[in-house]
Structure 1
Amino acid sequence: MNPTIQDVARLANVSIATVSRVLNDQPGYSEKTKQKVLKIIEELGYQPNAVARGLVNQKTGTIGVLFPSVSGLLSAEILHGIETKAHEHRYSVIVCNTAENREKTIKYLQVLREKRVDGLIFVSEAVTEEYYEIFCRMDIPVVLVSTQSYQYPLPFVKVDDRNGAYAATKHLIDKGHAAIGMIAGSEDDPIAGWPRIEGYRHAMREAGLSLEETLVQSRESFHYHEGRRGFQVLMKDHPELTAIFAASDELALGAISAAYEASITIPEDVSIIGYDNLILAEMSVPPLTTIAQPFKRMGSKAVRMMLDLINGKEAESTILPHELVIRDSVKSR
């Protein structure tokens, strides 16, 4: 038979109400009592029923997280930050992989509503009117990570992608490069596509360098194979290029692979800088110079913001700093 809250109270020699307060992190007991109750809970292997607890305090101790993809390293690092901070506060995390698909996203939002999650973290995807209407019907706090909405009043945590892209391009310029191309996401992508392209253009314009449209290779995604194709097209159209800013590390690694096949040496012939600082950037040959996003901190900060909202406090949107990580894929001219 599974242990009950009554068993915990009896062995700890406290009331059931005290055990409930400890479980729900409410005041009204000493630190000594808290430790005694937690010790008994651990020894018995007692698992409080989330639904039952929710009937009492209107909370289930769960947070829903929606990712456009759970297979990427970027998502893994954000999730690590979310789970670590959530578990510190005894919250569980329900992760949903939407595959950037409208129907799947709506279905998962319905599931999370049925599960009565206390809050929702929405990662790396644009908030549509349809999604926002569902958020409002769920009537729970929503925090955005690595994205933001200009249309809807939702708190977010992210880096400034325009400034990050500017810093990447400026690094190439400072190293003496003038013929600089870019492998980018879609200009129609308001999250990471257009802002990073604008950051590149700002740096080039500021330095008085060429801004031909064909210097920017806009791709459908930020994935490896798009980097390969983008590099091939760029070098065919602009063989004079000495440097490329790739708007993600995966794009950069695809470009390095295509360069190897074309007998183009990185960085002796062409310098490449990426964006994200995934672990793959360290494993690249040569190791990739890149702009680091603090993904784990983003996830952790999102949970802290979420808990403030759950507890009736305000949560201000946060822009975290990016960092230029210098390795071996960029050479001075």
Structure 2
Amino acid sequence: MEKQTITIYDVAREANVSMATVSRVVNGNTNVKPATRKKVLEVIDRLDYRPNAVARGLASKKTTTVGVIIPDMTNMFFASLARGIDDVAAMYKYNIILANSDSNGEREVQVLNTLLTKQVDGIIFMGNEITPELRDEFRRTKTPIVLAGSIDEENVNPSVNIDYVAAVQEEVKNLIDRGNKKIAFVCGPLSQAINSKYRLKGYKEALKSAGIPYDEKLVFETDNSYKSGMLLQPALSSMGVTAAMVSDDELAAGIMNGMTDAGVKVPSEFEVITSNDTKIAEIVRPKMSSITQPLYDIGAVAMRLLTKLMNNEEVTEKNVLLPYGLMKRDSTK
């Protein structure tokens, strides 16, 4: 069956009113007689008329659509952020196009350009890394872009995050205070500023304050997968490590299970702290201690910030830092 497009003209003809009247009914304009409104709505319902958002966008130069670039839809960290974005978008009557970039620099540029060709009014970027190529694209476009849970070293784009340096520093200090001298720092790629310039910095500062020399052999760079975490056990055990500060929950779960499988008792012989406090931290046994981030709020605040930029409202604070917490569970003493 061929798809038939019902236009505003068809509705006007059937209801025997002008197209302007149909437009007023569709847009909720009160300047229409109740009887006329009822008649028009009945015709809209019968014909299954749906206003053409593309045509409307051409007329208003606005599509009321926002592009959201997410590095990994299966990672609960990003899924929770997206939820906050979506709820605020709905509140301000924006639609969302969600695009997966697979944490791949080239694909991120490609996805960004695809969204821009769709004439989105704004973009929320949740990538792990801003490559020079991506930065160039950000500079070129006039479309407002907000970063959510992503770090821009150059602070060019507005962003919403927590203070990653302070959070990691506090958690590592807690591990040191409990008598751990050999603490591993396990993270995703160090090419990502969030790991190298922020989390690692917090780790180093905690060691320095405690007078423990920094040993780069205790820094383990990997990807954020569960499997990679499982495979780290022999290396961690051979270094005599008694605790690990980990950058991702899935990775941390892998490390913890790898240790348990090798007969190392968590937390009495090995403590684990993770960074994102997604559902994974509570599903595993023992439950994992974690830095807590207001994930939903990061998404929600990023979307609210974007609505201000899209409507040319004044933005006083471009780089928002939301409060973090520390959740003590069973993977630490």
Write the letter of the residue equivalent to 1:108.
Answer: V
Once the two structures are TM-superposed, the CA of residue 171 in structure 1 deviates from its matched residue by: 2.1
Of 289-298 and 128-137, deviating more is 128-137
Count of aligned pairs between the two proteins = 319
Once the two structures are TM-superposed, the CA of residue 2 in structure 1 deviates from its matched residue by: 6.3
Give the 3-state SS of the residue equivalent to 2:232 in structure 1: helix
1:155-186 CA distances to partner (integer Å, 9 max, x unpaired)? 01111211121122122233343332222233
1:127-154 CA distances to partner (integer Å, 9 max, x unpaired)? 2333233334432111111113233621
Q: Unpaired runs of 5+ in structure 1?
A: 23-27
Give the 3-state SS of the residue equivalent to 1:211 in structure 2: coil
Mapped to 1, the partners of 2:117 and 2:138 lie a distance apart of 13
* Matched-pair identity in %: 30
Aligned equivalent of 1:189, options 189, 192, 202? 192
Once the two structures are TM-superposed, the CA of residue 21 in structure 1 deviates from its matched residue by: 4.7
**Which residue in the other structure is 1:18 paired with?**
24
1:188–1:194 Cα contact (<8 Å) kept: no
Mapped to 2, the partners of 1:175 and 1:277 lie a distance apart of 21
What's the TM-score, normalizing by structure 1?
0.85
Q: Unpaired runs of 5+ in structure 2?
A: none
1:21-57 CA distances to partner (integer Å, 9 max, x unpaired)? 54xxxxx759xx9xx89x9599676532111111221
**Which residue in the other structure is 1:180 paired with?**
183
Mapped to 2, the partners of 1:136 and 1:330 lie a distance apart of 44
Give the 3-state SS of the residue equivalent to 2:255 in structure 1: helix
Cα 1:193–1:114 shift into 2, 3 Å: same
**Which residue in the other structure is 1:221 paired with?**
223
Of 299-308 and 223-232, deviating more is 223-232
Mapped to 2, the partners of 1:11 and 1:95 lie a distance apart of 40
Mapped to 1, the partners of 2:188 and 2:41 lie a distance apart of 54
Give the 3-state SS of the residue equivalent to 1:75 in structure 2: helix
**Which residue in the other structure is 1:25 paired with?**
none
**Which residue in the other structure is 1:205 paired with?**
208
CA RMSD between the two structures:
2.9
Cα 1:230–1:196 shift into 2, 3 Å: farther
**Which residue in the other structure is 1:289 paired with?**
289
Write the letter of the residue equivalent to 1:153.
Answer: V
- Does structure 1 residue 269 correspond to structure 2 residue 272? no
- Does structure 1 residue 237 correspond to structure 2 residue 236? no
Answer with 1 or 2: which has the greater Rg.
2
Give the 3-state SS of the residue equivalent to 2:193 in structure 1: coil
Once the two structures are TM-superposed, the CA of residue 117 in structure 1 deviates from its matched residue by: 0.6
Mapped to 2, the partners of 1:5 and 1:173 lie a distance apart of 69
1:183–1:230 Cα contact (<8 Å) kept: no
- Does structure 1 residue 131 correspond to structure 2 residue 137? no
Once the two structures are TM-superposed, the CA of residue 80 in structure 1 deviates from its matched residue by: 1.2
What's the TM-score, normalizing by structure 2?
0.85
2:232–2:258 Cα contact (<8 Å) kept: no
Cα 1:49–1:204 shift into 2, 3 Å: same
Aligned equivalent of 1:96, options 62, 87, 99? 99
Correspondence 1:149-168 to 2 at 5 A: 149-151=152-154, 153-168=156-171
1:240-265 CA distances to partner (integer Å, 9 max, x unpaired)? x3322122212211111111121001
Give the 3-state SS of the residue equivalent to 1:191 in structure 2: helix
Once the two structures are TM-superposed, the CA of residue 3 in structure 1 deviates from its matched residue by: 6.1
Cα 1:302–1:47 shift into 2, 3 Å: farther
Correspondence 1:30-109 to 2 at 5 A: 40=41, 46-109=49-112
Cα 1:250–1:92 shift into 2, 3 Å: same
Mapped to 1, the partners of 2:88 and 2:16 lie a distance apart of 30
Give the 3-state SS of the residue equivalent to 1:197 in structure 2: helix
Mapped to 2, the partners of 1:317 and 1:210 lie a distance apart of 33
Mapped to 1, the partners of 2:255 and 2:103 lie a distance apart of 25
Mapped to 1, the partners of 2:113 and 2:234 lie a distance apart of 43
Once the two structures are TM-superposed, the CA of residue 222 in structure 1 deviates from its matched residue by: 2.3
Write the letter of the residue equivalent to 2:83.
Answer: H
1:79-118 CA distances to partner (integer Å, 9 max, x unpaired)? 1111121122221111111112233223222221221111
Once the two structures are TM-superposed, the CA of residue 274 in structure 1 deviates from its matched residue by: 0.9
Once the two structures are TM-superposed, the CA of residue 4 in structure 1 deviates from its matched residue by: 5.3
